[in-house]
Chain A
């Protein structure tokens, strides 16, 4: 692992057709840092997250994870697209948690967590199962290993999804509005798990609307609007004394 930043973005641009979603993103996430990203919908925050593990291809700029280019290899002054196998290997080192959980409905909670270690990392079933059970215990679901996703509440499903991502022992975790699809009373249990992860030193980028979580757990807070970073800094500062008018306007609506 390099000693540089875990994630480094330089002037990252991304368009869908003629719609420019990211218009020059520059940021750095240090190892063990928790970065929270806020902003109105359509501001490009989810798109940026998806670029980090190459679910979306960037059009311009450079994006590095752990000092390696995302999706490309540079030799001399030429960029080479990475073959699928390499892309898959790099993705397997980054955990991602989705707004709509996206658990595999035909597998039990335990099978969901074991799937990638067994079939991507080629671990033995027995050792994968031992660790999957530990992870499910860690997210407070030791008694739900045999349950299918639709037998679980939203909060429980999202915690299984976090355990599923952790099973690959990622060096970076991406959270895409992990609590936005949850009933208000279930948000707390998911945030608790994420808080625990942050305390254990996981590097995290969290796209969220939970300002309380951002203030309490985040090391940095980034406010995005219209495909650019409008403001970034310590969460307390940004939330309490936003310097930019757009930030102030957004915060006045959500706080």
Chain B
């Protein structure tokens, strides 16, 4: 049987043909698979949740009551502040150090290139836990830190190791110096990703090497640098729990201490997890907006933020689709 009838239906004589309204293909398999996966997930969540609920090891109260109580307890909140502090400080050290190391690595001076390479080799090659351990115990071998000629004095300036390096400083140093090595490679990748013509154009205008890097190359490298840096920050948030080994009272250490006297181990682990998830979510949102900022000039039009998209959806949800009969075809910006 021929399907060629009398041509496509016309909306008006000689005009554009009517928009196609076809019945979509059904996908029963997708529905079944979706239902099964949902069922399995619900089962696992329920099993764990009810096990926690039935746990009455802490003075006969149910697990979720314990979680609710400790979630906003002052001890935990103080721990969160320390965790955030550690993360921010370590990342600041890491980013600054990483940028310097990356520029050193790419410099024409073979000595700076080698020193940068050596640093990255050392700090990526040893576990961060060992590095924290090293800084924490430095005072056992080195009693005084200072500047002197020769290096072991007489001193121009000096301070006792114990005064300079308390546990918090030891951990911040350990995390930050280690992060610097990773950030160096991230920044270097970003710098390399910028087309060489950009450097040439800037040089031709008379810009110095440092100006070229700061004004032209780095801002463009940011687009490549930001996503892995966000990744590193999120990773750092959780790696900072290693500070508990150096007796720094951050989030994980606090939950451990609490569970040491109320025995609600899993409950407090859940409290810690909830907070780590909340902080990670905040960081993810922050990263999205930073990426958007550095994308200026890279896309013709910035895509709408999820919030803008949600608002648009609410306001246009019930509006009829635009008439296809008139005007040029408009491709929605998301598909460009």
User: Chain A residues in contact with chain B, CB under 8 A?
Assistant: 53, 55, 84-85, 88-96, 98, 100, 102-108, 115-116, 119-120, 148-151, 161, 164-165, 168
Contact = CB atoms under 8 A, between A and B. Distances in A.
Contacts of B208: 84-85, 88
A85 B209 CA distance: 10
Contact of A105 (B202, B204, B211, B298): B298
B297 A105 contact: yes
B203 to A, nearest CB: 6
Contacts of A120: 205-207, 211
B150 to A, nearest CB: 34
A150 to B, nearest CB: 6
Interface in B174-201: 195, 197-198, 200-201
A105 B197 contact: no
Interface range, B side: 20 to 34
Given A88-B207, A105-B220, A149 B201 contact: no
B193 to A, nearest CB: 13
A104 B198 contact: yes
A91 B299 CA distance: 32
B200 A102 contact: yes
B216 interface: yes
B296 interface: yes
B27 interface: no
Contacts of B206: 88-93, 116, 120, 168
Closest 3 CB pairs of A and B: A92-B206, A102-B201, A116-B205
Contacts of A107: 297
A102 B207 contact: no
A150 B203 contact: no
A209 to B, nearest CB: 20
B203 A91 contact: yes
Nearest to A103: B201
Interface of B is mostly: helix
Given A92-B205, A120-B211, A150 B300 contact: yes
A91 B200 CA distance: 11
B230 interface: no
Given A88-B208, A98-B197, A104-B216, A55 B300 contact: no
Contacts of A91: 203-206
Contacts of A108: 297
A102 B215 contact: no
B219 interface: yes
Contacts of B209: 84
A150 B297 CA distance: 7
A106 B211 contact: no
B293 to A, nearest CB: 10
Nearest to B202: A104
A106 B298 CA distance: 7
Nearest to A151: B300
Given A88-B206, A104-B198, A107-B297, 6 more contacts: A93-B206, A95-B204, A98-B197, A105-B297, A119-B211, A120-B211
Contacts of B215: 115, 119
A96 B209 CA distance: 18
A162 to B, nearest CB: 12
Given A105-B298, A106-B297, A151-B300, A164 B205 contact: yes
Contacts of A150: 297-300
Contacts of A55: 200, 203-204
B318 to A, nearest CB: 34
A53 B204 contact: yes
Nearest to B211: A119
Contacts of A88: 203, 206-208
12 contacts: A91-B203, A92-B205, A96-B201, A102-B200, A104-B202, A105-B297, A108-B297, A116-B205, A120-B206, A120-B211, A148-B297, A151-B300
Q: Give the one of B195, B205, B211, B215 with max A CB within 10 A.
A: B205
A99 to B, nearest CB: 9
A89 B297 CA distance: 29
A116 B216 CA distance: 11
Contacts of B203: 55, 88, 91
B197 A100 contact: yes
Nearest to A121: B206
A98 B170 CA distance: 52
Contacts of A168: 205-206
Q: Give the one of A85, A120, A161, A168 with max B CB within 10 A.
A: A120
Contacts of A93: 206
